[in-house]
Structure 1
C-alpha cells in the first residue's frame, strides 16, 4: 500500500466521499457513517452522492427564496447533481440534538426538505443514535403528509419490494450499524418499557427470534420449500395499534416455536417470555429486521454483541472481555482446523470459541469454493453447504465451560449468532471438574465428549468418558487477581497449590489435564507468573510438562481502561511421554518464538491509535474497499470504492505473520 502525504491532526478525519479533511466532530463522524451505510447497505454509488448540498425553496408565508443545507443527498443514478434529481435526503445532526428539537429536529429539517425537493419521496434524520425514516405522501385532497417508515428502499428497490414476504435478504450491516441498532434497542427497552433489570435478556430473546427466522431458510432449502420470512415489519406497520399488535403476535409466536426447536431448546428453560408492549416489540423488531445477522461478519456481530453484554453481565460480575485483536492473534497463531477439538475452560460469553468458529468457517468456505477469494468468497460464508459443515464442526468439536450460569447462556447466544446453536457450553467450575455439585451437567459433558470422540474416532486406547485428555487445543483467559479466591478444598487437589493457590496458576494445571498429549494451548497470564522469584517452581513445572512454543509480552494498555494488569500470551504444547523422557535425559533443545506487542491499537483510555510518521502525524493509506450488494434477484454484485484510510497501530497482526515465518 502506498501512503500519501496528507497530514491529519488528532481531531481530524478525511471524508470518505470528498477526500477533504474535516474536523472530527460528533456530527462529522455521523455523516461518515451515513455515507458508508448508503453506499454499502443501500447500494447507492458514491458518484451519485453529494454532501453539504444547498437546496432552494419558496417560503410560503413570504414568497421569498430560502436555502437549506442538507448533509447528504443521493441523486438518480448517473444524473446531474441538481436539486430536481435528488431521490434520497439524509439530515445528519450532532448526537446532542433530539428528534423533536425546535430548530434541528425532524420537522424543521427533514420534513421541510422533503416538501421542497419535488421528486424526492424518501428521507432519513439521524443524530447518530436515533434514526427516523420518512416518506412524503399526498392524500386524496392533495394535502402533503409525512409518514413514518421502518426503513426506506435501496438502489433499484421500491417500497412494495420491502414488504414482500418472500424477500429473503435483508441488508448486510456496514461499519457500526449493528452496534447502533443493538444499543438503540437496548436503550429503548431500558428507557421506555420500564424494564431496567432484564432489558438485556428481552433484547436477546428478540435477537434469537431474528436468528431462528433466518436459520429457517436452511430448513426450507432442505425440504425444497420456498422460504417466507416471519420476522419482518412492514414499512408502515408500526404506525397503527393494529399493525403493532400484528407484529407482536408474529414475533411472539416465533419465540414460542423456537423454545421448542432442537437448535435453541437447550438455551432456554422454557418459562421465558417476551414481556414488552406491542409498541416495544414492533420498534425493536423494526430495528433488527433491517439486517441479516447470519451474513454479517463475526467482527461486526461480535462487537455489537459485546457492547451490550459488557454493559450488563460482565460488569455486574466484575469480569472483562479479552480484546478481539488479542483473541484473533491467539487463534491465528495456533491455527485450528475442522479436525481440532477445542475448549475454553473459562469461556465467559464465548469470544474465543466464536473466533475459532470463524477461523474454521473461512477454511471450510475456501475448501468448498477454491476458485473464489476476497469478498466473493466472504459472500459464500453463509451458504447452506458451508453452514452445514460449520454446524457439524461446532456440535462435534467446540466446548466451553464457565462458572457463571448467565454467561453460559450468553455464550450459547454468541455461538448461535456466529452460526451454530448446538455449542457444547456447560455451567461448570473447571477447577473442580470432574467433581461438581451439578451431576446433571457433568453427565451432559460426558455425553457430549462421547459423541465427539465417536464422530472423530480419535481416542480409542484406555478410553474414559471424561473431558480430561480429550482436547487438541485450549484457548483461554482465566480469571486472575487478588479478588478471585479458589475454595481450599478444590485447590488442595492440585500439585501446583503447594506453590500458589492463585486461580491462574491452577488453571495451567487444569488445562494440562484437559489436553491430549501433543495438544496445544494459548493462555493469557499475568506477568507475575513468568517473572516473580516466588513463582519459580511454577515455571519449572511448566517447563517440565510443556514445550514452550511462543511467548508474547503485551503492552500495559491491553486490558485498560477496565483493568490495569501487565500480561503475556503463552503458547504451550503438552509433552508426550517420549518428549518428557528426552527432557529428563537432558537432551532437550528447541527454539522459542518471543515477541513484544508494544502497540495494541488503543491508548490507556481505550481510544483507537493509528500509525503515525516521525513527526507524529497520522499516515493515510490509499485503499480499495470491495463489498457485495444483492439485487432483487439475489445476485451478488461486487462494487468497490477507493478511500484513504488510517491504519490501527497494532503490532499483533505483524507478530502473527512473524510466527508463521518462524514455523517455516
Structure 2
C-alpha cells in the first residue's frame, strides 16, 4: 500500500518549491505561485479521482462532463496534464487554465487570475518548468492523503514562514495564530452565529471561528461566515485558504470596506451580525472625510476621524454598525485609539457613554509582523451582562 502524504512531507515539499523561486521574485511573493500551483494540481487530481468513482455507477459522459456531480468541475483542457505538457510560454498556459477553471466554477473567480504568470521577468519559463516538475511529484487526490486538513495547515505554514520577508504587506494580511485564537476564544462563537470579518485578509479569523464551533460540538455548516478584503491578491488567497480548509457557504467580497461596504441585504442596508472579529490595518490613510459625512449607511454617528493617517475609528465604527442588537465584536487596534485627542477623544467618549465597551486588553509589544506599534483588543458588546454595565475593565497581557 502506497504511503499517504503527510503534512510534514507536504511542508517540506512547499519549502523546496520556495527554493526554486528564490532569485526571480521577492520572498514576500512566494506564497501566491506556490499555492496557485498546489491548488491547480489538487483540483485536477481530486476531479479525476471523483470522476473515476462516478464512472463505476454512471455513464462516462456524466462522470466526466456533468458539473453537477463535482464540487469543482475541471474540464480536460484545464487539468494538470495541460500544464505539465507545456514546453514554452508556460505562464500563458497557466493563465489560460486558470481562466477556464474560474469560468466553470464561479465560486473560484479571483482565486487564480489575480496574478499574471505570463510576466516572464518574474516567472521565466525555466523557473515555471522546474516548479511544474516539482509539483508533479505527488498525486493530491483524497485517497493519497493522510487527511484533507494538510492543505489548510500548509497554507498557514507558508503565511507564517514568509510573513517577516513580506514586510508591511504581510502585516496587512497575517495575524499570528495565537492572537487569532485569543480573539476567537474571547468571542466564543456559537452554532448558528452570523460572523463577519470586514478586513479579512487571508481569512484566518473566519476559519478559526469555524474550528472553535466544531471543537465545541457544533456544526460549522450552520455558521454564516462573511468577509470583505480590499487587496485583490489577498482576496483571492483568502478564498483559496477557506476552500483548502474545507469550509463551505462563505461570502467574501472585494472592495474598500470604508468606501464601499458590499455585505448588504436586498434593500442595500448593512447586514447585521452576531459576532464581528477583525484586525484592521493600523493608522491607514484616511482621505474620506467628505465622503464619510455623506455616508449612506450612517456608520459614523459617533464622529468622523479627522487625522489623515488615522482611519482607526472609522474601521471600529463600521464594525460597531454591523453588530445586531445583541452582537459582540473583538477588534485588534493600535493602542493610540485609547488616548489620542481631538475627534478621536469625542468618538471614544461616545462609545463609553453608550456603555458598549466590555473590555480592553493590552497586548505585548512587537507581537505583529512588520510593525512594532503597541496593540490592544477592544471588546464591544451591545448586550453586556447587567453586572458589567458602566464597568469596562482593562487587562494587560505580558505574553500571548
TM-score, length-normalised on structure 2?
0.72
Alpha-carbon separation, structure 2, partners of 1:484 and 1:271: 24
Q: How does 1:20-419 map to 2 (within 5 A)?
A: 157=1, 161=2, 170-174=4-8, 178-191=10-23, 194=24, 200-213=31-44, 216=47, 248-249=84-85, 258-262=101-105, 264-268=107-111, 277-286=128-137, 289=140, 294-296=148-150, 301-308=155-162, 311-312=165-166, 315-316=168-169, 319=172, 321-363=174-216, 366=217, 390=220, 392-393=221-222, 397-419=224-246
Partner of 1:425: 252
**1:172–1:472 CA distance, 2 compared to 1 (3 A):** same
Structure 1 residue 491: deviation in Å? Answer: 3.9
Structure 1 residue 309: deviation in Å? Answer: 6.5
Could you tell me whether the CA contact under 8 Å between 1:182 and 1:308 is conserved in 2? Answer: no
Alpha-carbon separation, structure 2, partners of 1:186 and 1:278: 14
Structure 1 residue 270: deviation in Å? Answer: 6.2
**1:266–1:282 CA distance, 2 compared to 1 (3 A):** same
Q: Secondary structure at the match of 2:5?
A: coil
Q: Secondary structure at the match of 2:373?
A: coil
Partner of 2:68: none
Q: Aligned pair 1:511/2:347, yes or no?
A: no
Partner of 1:568: 376
Structure 1 residue 283: deviation in Å? Answer: 0.9
Alpha-carbon separation, structure 2, partners of 1:559 and 1:318: 7
Alpha-carbon separation, structure 2, partners of 1:218 and 1:596: 52
Relative contact order higher in (CA < 8 Å, ≥ 6 apart): 2
Could you tell me whether the CA contact under 8 Å between 2:31 and 2:158 is conserved in 1? Answer: no
Structure 1 residue 416: deviation in Å? Answer: 1.6
Q: Aligned pair 1:474/2:305, yes or no?
A: no
Q: Name stretches of at least 5 consecutive residues in structure 1 with no aligned partner.
A: 1-156, 163-169, 227-243, 368-388, 435-441, 451-463, 601-664
Structure 1 residue 495: deviation in Å? Answer: 3.7
Alpha-carbon separation, structure 2, partners of 1:310 and 1:293: 29
Alpha-carbon separation, structure 1, partners of 2:114 and 2:333: 40
Q: Deviations over 1:579-628 (max 9, x none)?
A: 9xx9xxxx98465454221123xxxxxxxxxxxxxxxxxxxxxxxxxxxx
Partner of 1:527: 335
Q: Aligned pair 1:551/2:383, yes or no?
A: no
Q: Deviations over 1:303-330 (max 9, x none)?
A: 3344346645x64476362221111011
Could you tell me whether the CA contact under 8 Å between 1:556 and 1:565 is conserved in 2? Answer: yes
Could you tell me whether the CA contact under 8 Å between 1:346 and 1:478 is conserved in 2? Answer: yes
Alpha-carbon separation, structure 2, partners of 1:222 and 1:471: 41
Structure 1 residue 405: deviation in Å? Answer: 1.4
Alpha-carbon separation, structure 1, partners of 2:48 and 2:213: 22
**1:503–1:346 CA distance, 2 compared to 1 (3 A):** same
Q: Deviations over 1:503-535 (max 9, x none)?
A: 111112111211111111000122222234554
Would you say how many aligned residue pairs link Structure 1 and Structure 2?
352
Alpha-carbon separation, structure 1, partners of 2:49 and 2:209: 23
Structure 1 residue 173: deviation in Å? Answer: 1.3
Q: Secondary structure at the match of 1:486?
A: coil
Q: Deviations over 1:474-512 (max 9, x none)?
A: 11111223x633333234353444564421111121112
Structure 1 residue 361: deviation in Å? Answer: 3.5
**1:187–1:333 CA distance, 2 compared to 1 (3 A):** same
Structure 1 residue 362: deviation in Å? Answer: 3.0
Partner of 1:4: none
Could you tell me whether the CA contact under 8 Å between 2:230 and 2:256 is conserved in 1? Answer: yes
Q: Deviations over 1:124-149 (max 9, x none)?
A: xxxxxxxxxxxxxxxxxxxxxxxxxx
Alpha-carbon separation, structure 1, partners of 2:154 and 2:393: 31
Could you tell me whether the CA contact under 8 Å between 1:552 and 1:594 is conserved in 2? Answer: yes
Partner of 1:26: none
Structure (1 or 2) with the greater strand fraction: 1
Alpha-carbon separation, structure 1, partners of 2:50 and 2:354: 47
Could you tell me whether the CA contact under 8 Å between 2:17 and 2:131 is conserved in 1? Answer: no
